[in-house]
Amino acid sequence: MDHSPSPALNVRGLSVTFGTRQGPVPAVVDVDLDVAPGELVALLGESGSGKSVTARAVMGLSTGNASVTAEQIRLGDTDLLALPESEHRKLRGARMSLVFQDALSALNPVLSIGDQIGELFRTHRGMSRRQARAEAVNLLGQVGIPAPTRRVNDYPHQFSGGMRQRILIAMAIALRPELIIADEPTTALDVTVQAQILELLDSLRRELNMAVLLITHDLGVVSEVADRILVMYAGRIVESGTADDLLSRPGHPYTQALLRSVPQADTRGQELYAIPGSPPSPANQPSGCPFHPRCTWAVDECKTTRPLLTLLAGGRAAACHRTEEVLDAAVTG
Amino acid sequence: MQPSPGDVVLDAQNLHKTFRGGRGQAGRTRVSAVDGINLTLAAGESLGIVGESGCGKTTLARMLVGLDRPDTGTIMVHGRDIAHARGGDLRELRRRVQMVFQDPYTSLDPRMTVLELIGEPLVVHRLMPNAAARRDRVAELLALVGLAPELMNRYPHQFSGGQRQRIGIARALALEPEVLVCDEPVSALDVSVQAQVVNLLRDLQKRMNIAMVFIAHDLSVVRHVADRTAVMYLGRLAEVGETDTVYDQPAHPYTQALLSASPVVDRANRGRMANRIPLAGDPPSPTDPPAGCRFHTRCRLSKDLCGREQPQLLAIGGDANRVAACHFADESLADARERAEAA
């Protein structure tokens, strides 16, 4: 499934299991994922599907009760699995960075923005305070903060939500990383601000040739910016492919159902397609295919045998026993 | 007494609400949350309200159900004014206007069973003193929202988000209201569950002939649900009209910008957002709203007049159902048409 000779991020067989009082809970199981330089890949899923856990595992930021296993996690030519924590830490911010969803809690309220951005340059590049401050002003201008020389001394609470998100993006791109993971970067924002932030991410990855892994649950956002899409359900990737293929012709019933349940202009006034039930909790997953209790395509086989993620024509993949039929239905229906 | 379709069930006129904030540079700041809003709602109709965070949507909702009192203005329900009613009168009016809250995780008391939660309005309003009758009624309400009546002895934490929102809806319906005010009823839910709740609300509304105020920031959901749509900006109405008209031919520059920025699941139209109508700057603070038209600081068509004079909501194109508060609504409409043709 290689899309480029040297992907910026290359993950094989990633699993994350949380140890809880009720026993081990598998949150992410056997995830493969590639992001090429300059490519924007969307990881689409609902809450509890494991998308944020995946992001944290890649960044090496998993919590203490998580056990992370993988065959391979490579950032460019660096094997992250073999790296000691101290070395891993040096990569974070410099070669890969994470944009959090909630900008207000991701920023330190008692440090000025200039100090927070400058810290990256001082720690990773050994710059002086003055140089770091100048770089911070530069970056703020680059992400579209008006009057950056003045605003660099302000504190997080003095910025609006959209501005704070821009500041997080500024910090993420500060050291020109190869990979940015953006975890629901626009979920807390209004649509007009969301459009600005998505545009910013899109132009930055084009100009700086960064690989972007965008984590989201919003099909509209995905449709607007993604090159490729990975759909997660109950901790596994259930479908992957180019955004064009996947959105116009979904190969997994879950993707298909999600797309049908979104209100569209021409379905106004009609009943929306509603997926029955709710997503399973990672601690209590159904047997066989985890989607089968909610699936209209389910047959007996689905209750007992979990379908594997299978390669299809055109470089796409889906984990469903009836993919071919689902694909055909998308064309005729 | 069921109102017949077309009857006005709720009539809000000239609503204003200002909150006193913390101390600013010049004494206490005042936040003008709602500034002169008029709304009427006919029986069985659904009115969508859209706008960005901080535009006063929730304050408006809270005033409509009588949780906040407007500083000035009237909210007439059955010829009586909720805004100034007291005691028993207020309770009687509140029975007719009920609310579905945004977050089903915090709006249900975790220590009450579903029976107690849904039965509580009946107890408060002394409608069903008999516990057995109340139990029957709760079972009926649970069935109505698609939950098994056997679940009534469970607690909220035993339900999923979508089920909890169903409980919240059953609780709001317990008093057989004429108006249901839904403040972001699906935004806290998983994507795959939102459609269930949207369908349920629409279905109940049609079956029970309830008028619904549907507040959401998700434009596509409002488009799906609402017969009429009102667009709010910084405490004022920018535009009101039939949903199709507002979405297909928005007249107010703010509505146009908002719609053009909202992502649509449509790969063929990719890049639509890059061609969106830009909004200059950030939303102004409601503690210090701009003079004249509150939108003029960010508007692409702004002229001198806009900074001086507040535009009134006026009919556009001779259609009395369709009003916009813009001095240059006609120009704006023409400009939007040109853009649509160019694209």
**Predicted confidence (pLDDT) per residue in B68-106, tens digit:** 999 999 999 888 898 888 888 888 888 999 999 988 888
Express each pLDDT in B242-259 by its tens digit.
Answer: 999 999 999 999 999 999
A260 within some domain: yes
A26 burial type by CB count under 10 A (0-12 exposed, 13-18 middle, 19+ buried) = middle
DSSP E strands, chain A:
9-20, 23-35, 40-44, 66-69, 72-75, 78-79, 96-99, 179-183, 211-216, 228-233, 236-242, 310-311, 317-318
DSSP B27: E
Query: Residue B2: its pLDDT value, please?
Result: 57
Percent of chain B with pLDDT strictly greater than 90 = 58
| Chain B CA closest to residue A46 | B190
With an 8 Å Cβ cutoff, are A262 and B217 in contact? no
Structure ipTM = 0.83
A103 within some domain: no
Query: Residue A2: its pLDDT value, please?
Result: 45
Token pair of A111 as six digits? 């440090």
From A192, A262, A274, residue closest to B196, measured CB to CB: A274
With an 8 Å Cβ cutoff, are A264 and B265 in contact? yes
DSSP B151: G
B95 within some domain: no
DSSP E strands, chain B:
8-24, 27-42, 46-50, 72-77, 80-81, 97-100, 179-183, 211-215, 228-233, 236-242, 314-316, 319-324
The CA distance from B24 to B29, in Å, is 5
* The pLDDT of residue B23 is above 70: no
Q: Ranked by mean pLDDT, which of A270-274, B130-134, B330-334 comes out on top? A: B130-134
B312 within some domain: yes
SS3 content of chain A, % helix, strand, coil (to 5): 40, 20, 40
How many CA atoms lie within 13 Å of B175's alpha carbon, on the beta-carbon side? Answer: 24
Mean pLDDT of B3-28: 79
A181 within some domain: yes
From A46, A192, A294, residue closest to B191, measured CB to CB: A46
A111 within some domain: no
Tens-level pLDDT at each residue, chain A (333 residues)? 444 458 999 999 999 999 988 889 999 999 999 999 999 999 999 888 999 999 999 999 888 889 999 999 999 999 999 999 899 999 998 999 999 888 888 999 999 999 999 999 999 999 999 999 999 999 998 888 888 999 999 999 988 888 898 899 999 989 999 999 999 988 877 888 888 888 888 888 999 899 999 999 999 899 999 999 999 999 999 999 999 999 999 999 999 999 999 888 777 778 888 898 888 888 888 999 999 999 999 999 999 999 999 999 888 999 999 999 999 887 655
Q: To the nearest whole angstrom, how far is the Cα of B224 from the nearest Cα of chain A?
A: 5
Asked if B20 contacts B80 with a C-beta cutoff of 8 angstroms, the reply is: no
* The pLDDT of residue B41 is above 90: yes
CA dist B4 → A77, A224, B9, B75, B96 (Å)? 72, 44, 10, 20, 15
B91 within some domain: no
Q: To the nearest whole angstrom, how far is the Cα of A47 from the nearest Cα of chain B?
A: 7
With an 8 Å Cβ cutoff, are A268 and B224 in contact? yes
With an 8 Å Cβ cutoff, are B265 and A244 in contact? no
Instruction: Supply the CATH number for residue A181's domain.
Output: 3.40.50.300
Contact partners, residue A236, CB within 8 Å, separation at least 6: A28, A29, A30, A31, A50, A290, A309, A319
Size of chain B, expressed as the number of residues it contains? 343
B251 within some domain: yes
- Number of structural domains found in chain A: 1
A112 within some domain: no
A250 within some domain: yes
* Secondary structure of residue B156 in the 3-state scheme: helix
Write out residues 188-217 of B within 8 Å (CB-CB) of A.
190-196, 198-199, 202-203, 217
**pLDDT confidence of B197, banded at 50, 70, 90?**
very high
Report chain B residues whose CB lies below 8 A from the CB of A268: 223-224, 243-244
Query: Residue B274: its pLDDT value, please?
Result: 73
A133 within some domain: no
Query: Residue B343: its pLDDT value, please?
Result: 65
- Number of structural domains found in chain B: 1
Domain membership of residue B281 as a residue range: 242-343
| Chain B CA closest to residue A191 | B262
The CA distance from B334 to B332, in Å, is 5
With an 8 Å Cβ cutoff, are A263 and B279 in contact? no
Asked if B199 contacts B229 with a C-beta cutoff of 8 angstroms, the reply is: no
Mean pLDDT of B152-156: 94
The CA distance from A190 to A165, in Å, is 12
Query: Residue B4: its pLDDT value, please?
Result: 65
Q: B263 — contact with chain A (CB < 8 Å)?
A: yes
Q: What is the mean pLDDT of chain B?
A: 89
Q: Please name every residue paired with A229 in a beta bridge, in sequence order, or none if there are none.
A: A42, A241
Domain membership of residue A30 as a residue range: 9-95+175-332
With an 8 Å Cβ cutoff, are A191 and B52 in contact? yes
For the stretch B41-70, what's the b/e string if a residue is b when 16 or more beta carbons lie within 10 angstroms of its beta carbon?
bbbbbbbbbbbbebbbbbbbbbbbbbebeb
B106 within some domain: no
